[in-house]
Structure 1
Amino acid sequence: MNETETAVTRESELAAPAADGVLLAGTLTLPAGPGPHPAVLCLPGSGKLDRDSNAGKLRMDLGRPLAATLARHGIASFRYDRRGVGATPGDWHTVGFLDNRADADAALRALRTHPEVRGESVAVLGHSEGAVHAMWLAAHTPTAAAVLLAGYARPGEAAVRWQGSRLAASAPRLIRPLLPILRRAAAKQLARVAATTTDTTRVGGVRVNAKWWREQLAYDPRADLSRIRVPVLAITGEKDVQVDPADLDVIAGLVPGARIHRAPDLTHVLRRTDGPGTVSTYRGLLRRPVENELVTGIARWLAERLG
């Protein structure tokens, strides 16, 4: 096991065995002091993401600063590469939404049983799709707390349609006359993918993960939210154009005692902006680090609840 150490943290490679034997390659970050420690499983958003929430040139760089901040507050963490990404084997195109959930469950078990971790003090933290899997884990597995960053609280298809409407609203003025046609074409493609039975399909000549789309569109997280009985912190940026900030009110209504926060000027990529926060601004926003105030606030909240 390769291990590196700083004055605040210790990092080592950890491979969590999935249900089918695939090893989910990731990084275990530990506070520098003696353990065992409370810990957090960190789950990324949707897409071909590695342990740091990066996909090729689109680099969110969430994992490392989050892990370092948690460690400074005495909390260990584990983050891992999705199947077919980084050091984890597999074909990302064939992995379903429910496969991602099952892998998250396996990673949580591996973290909970690690000798450097206090198994009764393990929380889950997810961003976007990862937040939805964190809801399920908090409802169905032994967890001590859950942090939901930009997690939707409506049926998957409704969440996708809301996102599509916001993206359309931010389209350039020259394209707006074409929006009715584009909406009909998008609805047709969505219905076509939902009706598939194969792992993958092609849309406009592009290979698409049909299994993931089918399962994500069909999933409604509200039943799982209503089963959660551990502390929950839910944060969505008021300038998020991919998840409706109003879903925070649904979470508050379903999870007893949940703390919700609409973060001013925060976007889906966890950077603040004075502008509209549309997808076209992401590349520029991602040149800056993730908001330190956000990750520090999360770490403090978790430290108070994990002990």
Structure 2
Amino acid sequence: MSTDPMPCEVGFVNGDVTLAGLVEVPDRASAGVVLVGGSGPTDRDNGTYFPPIRRHLAAAGIAVLSYDKRGVGGSSGDWRDATMDDLAADAAALDFLRTRPGVPAHAVGLFGHSEGGWVALRAATARDDLPWVVTNSCPGTTPAVQERHALANALRRAGADVDDALALYDRLVVAGRRDAAFAEAARLIDSAGSPAVSCDYWTGVDERLWAFLKRKQDHDPVPDAVRLRCPHLAIFGGADELVSVADSARLFSAAACHPDRHARATLTVQVFPGSDHRVQTNGGTRLASRYLDTLTRWILDRRQD
């Protein structure tokens, strides 16, 4: 086992976008992983979430690369202008990591957190050479369904009027499917006068973000899961209020049972009871017990010799 690998600032190119990140390559690395962040303007650390994961994996002999999303940190472009295919193509990070000295190219896979799980699944379907993929708190539902679930939980916590707020949310989703202009969506919010939706869903939404939300809202990860040609580890926190864990596990399991699923595309579902969307406990102050060991062992057990 290697300890204390030195992190290194790196940059790589996908089309006309330059992405900046951080790579750690331990001595005698036996595997590698690209960490793909969640929704919004996520950087290479996904806030404070990735560093302890990165350190643990690297100490276990796994090379790790994480990167700033388009338009964040040192990366060019703008994630709000991107499609899911664009974000998946940014997993050119995978090819970059495979070319690093000391990295076993055949044993480098993808780890996607939350929205990053959708990105990792889409990237995986475009490749025949991926040894495995990990989705971490990734919904098996569409974004529209996932956001509705998260909003309902937030409203209940706040003691707000759930039914009226969700009815407004549903009208916004329908407007998005009609490709309604931002002004029309804003009028729906203003006319409803619902501060709960404004605070929990609409805060920070402008014309460009509205366009991104419209493009993304009906993305279905199940067809990508069906097309996988490698093992899939789906990790969830049992107390995740943002994702319907039971529905997501069921949908990924159904994909694994599809007659078109590749024979190599096994599914492992790991639920950590009592942990949240970041698979953390104690009010989000620590990762769930055995989470890091479980993740590390699953990756190392799937090395291709």
Residue of structure 2 in register with 1:185 after alignment? 168
Residue of structure 1 in register with 2:25 after alignment? 30
Give 1 or 2: higher helix fraction: 2
Q: Does 1:87 align with 2:74?
A: yes
Residue of structure 2 in register with 1:10 after alignment? 6
Choose from 248, 261, 267 the match for 1:258: 267
From the superposition, tell whether residues 111 and 200 of structure 1 become closer, same or farther in structure 2 (CA, over 3 Å). Answer: farther
Deviation at 1:103, TM superposition (A): 1.5
Determine if contact 1:26/1:81 at 8 Å carries over to the other structure: yes
Describe the SS at the equivalent of 1:69: helix
| Alignment-mate amino acid for residue 26 of structure 1 | G
| Alignment-mate amino acid for residue 213 of structure 1 | L
The ranges of structure 1 where at least 4 consecutive aligned residues each deviate by more than 4 angstroms after the TM superposition are 197-206
Choose from 94, 98, 111 the match for 1:112: 98
CA distance, structure 2, for counterparts of residue 200 and residue 113 of structure 1: 47
Q: Does 1:304 align with 2:305?
A: no
From the superposition, tell whether residues 295 and 232 of structure 1 become closer, same or farther in structure 2 (CA, over 3 Å). Answer: same
Residue of structure 2 in register with 1:281 after alignment? none
Query: What is the RMSD of the two structures over their aligned residues, measured on CA atoms?
Result: 2.6
CA distance, structure 2, for counterparts of residue 199 and residue 99 of structure 1: 23
Choose from 44, 51, 74 the match for 2:37: 44
Give 1 or 2: higher strand fraction: 1
CA distance, structure 1, for counterparts of residue 220 and residue 177 of structure 2: 15
Deviation at 1:223, TM superposition (A): 1.1
Residue of structure 1 in register with 2:279 after alignment? 270
| Alignment-mate amino acid for residue 154 of structure 2 | L
Deviation at 1:213, TM superposition (A): 1.1
Note the alpha carbon deviations across 1:274-294, whole angstroms, 9 max, x for none: xxxxxxxxxxx34x2434621
- TM-score by structure 2 length? 0.81
Note the alpha carbon deviations across 1:37-96, whole angstroms, 9 max, x for none: 421010111011111111xxxxxx122111111112111010001112111123444334
Determine if contact 1:94/1:200 at 8 Å carries over to the other structure: no
Note the alpha carbon deviations across 1:10-44, whole angstroms, 9 max, x for none: 21111120122x2110001111x245x42101011
Deviation at 1:129, TM superposition (A): 0.4
Deviates more, 1:37-46 or 1:86-95: 86-95
What is the number of residues matched between the two proteins?
A: 276
- TM-score by structure 1 length? 0.81
Question: Mind listing any 5+ residue stretches in structure 1 that lack a counterpart?
Answer: 1-5, 55-60, 274-284
Question: Mind listing any 5+ residue stretches in structure 2 that lack a counterpart?
Answer: 190-203, 257-264
Deviation at 1:109, TM superposition (A): 2.1
CA distance, structure 2, for counterparts of residue 192 and residue 135 of structure 1: 27
